[in-house]
Amino acid sequence: MRSKFDEQLALLNKEMIEMGALCEEIISRVLKALTEEDGQLLHGISSLGPEIDQKERTIETLCLKLLLQQQPVAKDLRQISAALKMITDMERIGDQAEDIAEIVPFVKNRPQTVDTLLHEMAEASIKMVTESVDAFVGRDIGLAKKVIKDDDIVDNYFTLIKQALISGIVDNPKDGECSIDLLMIAKYFERIGDHATNIAEWVVFSVTGIHKEG
């Protein structure tokens, strides 16, 4: 009776997975560019941004069409409204990754401590994004709640990096500009963690009907 609707919902799911995969791809490339200092990798990033934006438009259009044609209720309504909210966060993740990519060429002389912390922080935030998308795909509340909890880990890395950078500036004031760029990168990763948290909160809403913010 509702096979067409189910087909459209399956398509929405597929598009969401693809957008999530693009987000994972862009931040993984940013991390690699940061590690390998490879200009070619940065070039690849600039093409992924518009691809993510296009995906957001496609999903928006599909959701509006579903709202109009199917007048969804209950689980269907929650899935579609959650998707509409989640793509905004996914698109912002893409933007933050692009912002990091713009700064990477200017942070070549990084103190070892900060470099290690930054890599760990980047990996933790990428994991959050991956798991938030996995939670959506599998309608896995347990995993979504883990992502929400893991935001504290990323936030903690930000504090550690900030402290390390402050010490660095005290010891070598001439490295101040590079330190501020590194702090910006850390802040962008911290924001990526926040967006992954938002996605996870919408996954919880989509499954249970309850959103953390009330």
Partner 1 sequence: MSNMITVKNMCLWYGEHQALKNINVSIPEKSITAFIGPSGCGKSTFLKSLNRMNDLIQGVRITGDILYNGKNIFDSSVDVNELRREVGMVFQKPNPFPMSIYDNIAYGPRTHGIKNKAKLDDIVECSLRDAAIWEEVKDRLKKNALGLSGGQQQRLCIARALAVKPAVLLMDEPTSALDPISTSKIEELSMKLKENYTIIMVTHNMQQAVRISDQTAFFLLGELIEYGNTETLFSTPKDKRTEDYITGRFG
**Interacting residues with partner 1 (CB under 8 A):** 1-2, 5, 71-78, 208-210
Q: Report CA Rg, the chain.
A: 19
Given a contact cutoff of 8 angstroms between Cβ atoms, the answer to whether 176 and 109 are in contact is no
Q: Which amino acid is at 170?
A: V
Given a contact cutoff of 8 angstroms between Cβ atoms, the answer to whether 112 and 176 are in contact is no
Pick 76 or 95: Cβ nearer partner 1: 76
Pick 78 or 110: Cβ nearer partner 1: 78
Could you give phi then psi for residue 139, rounded to 5 degrees?
45, 50
Q: How far is the CB of 77 from partner 1 (least distance, A)?
A: 6
Q: How far is the CB of 72 from partner 1 (least distance, A)?
A: 7
Owner of token pair 């002389």: 109
Pick 1 or 170: Cβ nearer partner 1: 1
Q: How far is the CB of 80 from partner 1 (least distance, A)?
A: 12
Picking from 205, 184, 211, 212, the residue whose alpha carbon sits closest to that of residue 83 is 205
Picking from 88, 99, 87, the residue whose alpha carbon sits closest to that of residue 188 is 99
CA 54, CA 47: separation in Å to the nearest integer? 11
Pick 5 or 106: Cβ nearer partner 1: 5
Q: How far is the CB of 204 from partner 1 (least distance, A)?
A: 12
Pick 50 or 209: Cβ nearer partner 1: 209
Measured between alpha carbons, how far is residue 107 from residues 29, 33, 110, 197 in Å?
16, 11, 6, 28
Q: How far is the CB of 41 from partner 1 (least distance, A)?
A: 44
Q: How far is the CB of 69 from partner 1 (least distance, A)?
A: 12
